[in-house]
């Protein structure tokens, strides 16, 4: 899976701790190999965000993304449940 990122995602990812940024790198690699890997807990969002999906970065933080094409995703946001949703 090819992954792109928005400028908003880059800005928000800079706010993560060093440990969380390292974890983001690891989870991005997992995502690229298999976006539905059970370790990611990938899920479709609902309501007004139903066009988006998300996966877990930590217990409290998520990565929100959209599928641009079958094999391309765009990471849109990263943060806590309240911040991302």
Q: Tens digits of per-residue pLDDT, 23-78?
A: 999 999 999 999 999 999 999 999 999 999 999 999 999 999 999 999 999 999 99
Q: Is residue 37 a contact partner of residue 73, using CB atoms and an 8 Å limit? A: no
Strand order in the sheet with 43-44: 2-5, 72-80, 61-69, 53-56, 43-44
* The total number of residues written for the chain in this structure: 85
- Per-residue CA distances from 5 to 11, 27, 38, 45 (Å): 10, 14, 22, 19
pTM metric for this prediction? 0.92
């Amino acid at each position: 899976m090819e992954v792109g990122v928005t400028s908003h995602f880059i800005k928000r990812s800079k706010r993560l701790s060093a440990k969380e940024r390292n974890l983001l790198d690891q989870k991005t690699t997992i995502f690229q190999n298999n976006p539905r890997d059970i370790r990611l807990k990938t899920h479709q969002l609902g309501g007004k965000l139903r066009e988006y999906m998300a996966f877990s970065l930590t217990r409290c933080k998520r990565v929100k993304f959209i599928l641009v094409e079958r094999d391309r995703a765009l990471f849109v946001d990263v943060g806590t449940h309240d911040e991302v949703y």
